[in-house]
Structure 1
Amino acid sequence: MMKEKKVSSRFIYFFGAFGGILFGYDIGVMTGALPFLQQDWNLESAAVIGWVTSAIMLGAIFGGALSGQLSDRLGRKKMILISAVVFVIGSVLSGIAPPNGHIFLIVVRIFLGMAVGAASALVPAYMSEMAPAHLRGRLSGINQTMIVSGMLLSYIVDYLLSGFSTTMAWRSMLTMAAVPAIILFIGVLKLPESPRFLIKNNKLDEAQKVLSYIRPAEKIESEIKQIQEMAEREKIANQQTSWGSLFTGKYRYLVIAGVGVAAFQQFQGANAIFYYIPLIVEKATGNAASSALLWPIIQGVILVLGSLLFIAIADKFKRRTLLTLGGTVMGLSFILPAILNILIPNANPMMIVVFLSIYVAFYSFTWAPLTWVIVGEIFPLMIRGRASGLASSFNWLGSFLVGLLFPIMTASMSQEAVFAIFGVICLLGVLFIRVRVPETRGYTLEEIEKFGESKQLKRTGA
């Protein structure tokens, strides 16, 4: 029997949100550390730079996939605690990497990435299972805000630590990622287990007790019954479907739409900016990347403001309209610098950074949050677990490849040319939205499922 005293819903939502901050912090911290690491280890190999940066996303691909299965066995709370411990260990090991220990750091960051991938899947799942139904729609936007707030926090900490010696700067930046992980661990220790997990494991008394913390007494029994019915439907779905079911005629259309949106979000190149903005500024201006750490903060502020804008407008515009607007401006922001560079060879080199800021602004309130809104809405119940996992894996794969390949590409061609390639991918993403993705705002999950069966694209116009 559970012994927790009543836990306030605010406490639960705060530490649920704090998981997003931790996730964002660890994604962003290498942005400021990399220029100092390059100086300290005399890193000139574009491939090594790419691997050190992107290793965390490689680990996340596996962490996200494993966490879903393990959390069904061990519980959401226990898996978040395990992820926090891995965060702490991985952060400390990163900070004490042996001199010129490229392989050591890459392996440690793959290990750390498993926790990042797990947190990215577990925290929103825990939050949605604890929150009442009328708040679940906002959680995607709030979680996005917390992730980008974590990124901004990491950029600020990097900037504040940049006054240390070259060696101490990057080591302290990477080690400091342990601090929010420790805070998360302490907070989650006091949280109750998800009632959904307890009910699925026949711990009905404990589930009632948890729900009594966060629901009015008169709603507890009906919610327990609803969770039991949904668990039974999911069990039947898992028995009747397989990975092959995702690509049968009945589901193929919606699976391609959801997985495609998740993949395009990363292949459009946003993470090239977030991971490498100091190096981009260095290449554009000739100044040392370690002196360009204000730029990540600027990008972080734009991301946070954009995520807040999305929360304000999310339900006022169609999903396809926002994705079309965002993708078009993002594509032009990448392509125009290449055109202007040809027309005006002596143009100010910082022009590209201004265009990148425009890209980040539009990405922050369109593709960044809407991808996960669509992934949450578009898959029918019978395939939702597998299809969501596949979409997440493709998203992390795109993030990994962009992080790995960007320094290699810029070593062999101009930055403008590399971003122009990403710009073309952005415009292809818009075309994909217009042709392959149905509108989901305002439709029930059952109606969206019928779109997949009938492919009635006439009803999907933005």
Structure 2
Amino acid sequence: MQKEKKIPSSFIYFFGSFGGILFGYDIGVMTGALPFLQTDWALQNNAGIIGWITSSVMLGAIFGGALAGQLSDKLGRRKMILISAVIFVVGSVLSGVSPHNGSLYLIIVRVLLGTAVGAASALVPAYMSEMAPAKLRGQLSGLNQTMIVSGMLLSYIVDFLLKDLPEAWAWRLMLGLAAVPAVILYFGVAKLPESPRFLVKNGHFSEARKVLTYIRNDESEIDQELADIKDTANAEAQAAKSTSWGTLFTGKYRYLVIAGIGVAAFQQFQGANAIFYYIPLIVEKATGSAASSALMWPIIQGVILVVGSLLYIAIADRFNRKTLIMLGGTVMGLSFLLPAIINWINPNTNPMMIVVFLCIYVAFYSFTWAPLTWVIVGEIFPLAIRGRASGMASSFNWIGSFLVGLLFPIMTAAMSQEAVFAIFGIICILGVAFTKFCVPETRGRSLEEIEEEGTRDKSKVAVKPEID
């Protein structure tokens, strides 16, 4: 019998990572496209439309992530990634051929595109973690974050290279070129097998074993890994039967659910995406120069994000999760609050000061809140509620991303940028306080130990005297 040909792990991780690059590209590309679109369609004084066009991808992602989780359990991780890649291609091309002044058309198309963004953000890490050996899963969260920010940096570079084209062509090409990495992703993933975990959950045990022989070198460990996958699948099936949505906020789980969802929500409401989507417009408002001439700033932010994500991979297991996230949140909050304070004391301060502080914000965000949010969400939920609670945390994160993208241009049209960022700064400080008092430390602890802390918290609440 001819031995099955192994699929190189590097091939699997490359195309798993490529999903992150595609996700990041589509999130970042509007940063450079927006100044040209704004001029081409004369939207300079229409903050509401600008906000809707920018945030519509996140609106679609709210639904895409939820649908992908449900459908991937029926159709498979691999097939859903392929469907997402097709939607990426179609949505990107349709965005690039938008009719002139077709704001409603572009919003609808970007909502469609957002369903693929949300699906990719949920499916690609799940597929990679299910294909990787256990010893590598801890590194995949940091790797996925690196690929996402690399995709953002790639989009910023493409935007910069196209900036000298006529404005009507520039933004269309920027948006349309997102189809290229989507096509590469499709043909790459088409050569990959389905994940063994999905195959086991659907009773295809022999096929699951065959896939494991493709991607594991040690034959003696394949049967043990297959048995472990079966045990986990059975435990999750039992957990799904014994829990409901109401279970999330009752008993010992409530403390952990609030902690996980709270961290996911704070990550977005702290205002990071306001910088990533609108940095050229922020520079324009601060200096008076045209936003289309400020496209080097997104590249600087992108480089900071990539370097920060690599720094996180290097230090992730050396510091407690809470220590890093509280350090990051404190510096991020000060980076937003200090420009408002300095400008209040000395109104003649160089307006580029705010951009310098934004770079400091991005630097600390990149190795703290950006990756650690999803590490904590992945570690904090017990098996019985993990699926539902993780889905709800992801939804709250996308809702925050959508609202920040929608409201930021409206807020800056109504008040100074320093005041808007000061509001985000206060939210950052509240996020630090929330982490300190409401989030358990998860580094180096088992799920059982984390769950026990939730039980202790419940008992504390039970004996707490009521205030008349």
Q: How far apart in 2 are the matches of 1:135 and 1:274?
A: 30
2:251·2:458 contact (CA, 8 Å) conserved in 1? no
2:398 is aligned, of 396, 399, 403, to: 396
Write the distance in 2 (CA, Å) between the matches of 1:276 and 1:232.
47
Look up the match of 1:134.
135
Equivalent residues of 2:252, 2:458 under 8 A apart:
no
Query: How far apart are the structure 2 equivalents of 1:237 and 1:418?
Result: 44
Output the aligned Cα RMSD. Answer: 1.2
- Tell me how far 1:339 sits from its aligned partner: 0.5
Match of 1:194?
195
Q: Say which SS state the counterpart of residue 98 (structure 1) adopts.
A: coil
Does 1:166 pair with 2:163? no
Equivalence for 2:284: 282
Q: How far did residue 125 of structure 1 move?
A: 0.2
Q: Partner of 1:23 in structure 2?
A: 23
* Residue identity opposite 2:267 in structure 1: Q
Equivalent in 311, 319, 322 of residue 320 of structure 1: 322
2: CA distance, partners of 1:424 / 1:457: 31
Matches within 5 A, 1:289-300: 289-300=291-302
Partner of 2:151: 150
Instruction: Give 1:232 shift.
Output: 0.7
**Any residues of structure 2 matched to 1:86-125 within 5 Å, and which?**
86-125=87-126
Q: TM-score, normalised by structure 1?
A: 0.98
**1:423 matched residue in structure 2:** 425
Contact 2:283–2:352 under 8 Å retained in 1: yes
Are the aligned partners of 1:438 and 1:457 in contact in 2 as well (CA < 8 Å)?
no
Matched, 1:447 2:449: yes
1:57 to 2:66 alignment: no
State the aligned residue count.
456
Contact 1:4 1:190 in 2 (8 A): no
C-alpha distance in structure 1 between counterparts of 2:108 and 2:250, whole Å: 38
Q: Which residue of 1 aligns with 2:248?
A: 246
Which amino acid in the other structure matches residue 108 of structure 1?
Answer: V
Amino acid at match of 1:18: F
Using the TM superposition, give the Cα deviation of residue 456 of structure 1 relative to its aligned residue in structure 2, in angstroms.
9.3
1:412 aligned residue: 414
Identity of aligned residues (%): 76
Contact preservation (8 Å) 2:257, 2:381 = yes
Deviation at 1:204, TM superposition (A): 1.4
Secondary structure of residue in 1 paired with 2:289: coil
Displacement of 1:6 in angstroms is 2.6
- Residue 252 of structure 2 aligns to a residue whose secondary structure is helix
Distance 2:457 2:305 in 1: 35
Q: Give the match for residue 37 of structure 1.
A: 37
Contact kept, 8 Å, 2:252 with 2:451, in 1: the verdict is no
8 Å CA contact 1:32, 1:158 repeated in 2: yes
Measure the CA separation in 2 of the matches of 1:26 and 1:421.
Answer: 27
Residue matched to 1:185: 186
Equivalent position amino acid for 2:25 in 1: Y
CA contact (8 A) 2:274 2:404 kept: yes
Write the letter of the residue equivalent to 1:59: G
1:185 CA drift (Å): 0.4
Which blocks of at least 5 consecutive residues in structure 1 are unaligned? none
Contact 2:36 2:292 in 1 (8 A): yes
After superposition, the Cα gap between the structure-2 partners of 1:297 and 1:27, relative to the gap in structure 1 and judged at 3 Å, is same
Contact 2:255–2:458, Cα closer than 8 Å, also in 1: no
Aligned twin of 1:345: 347
Name structure 2 gaps, 5 residues minimum: 461-468
| Residue type of the alignment partner of 1:25 | Y
CA gap of 1:244–1:456, structure 2 versus 1, over 3 A, is closer
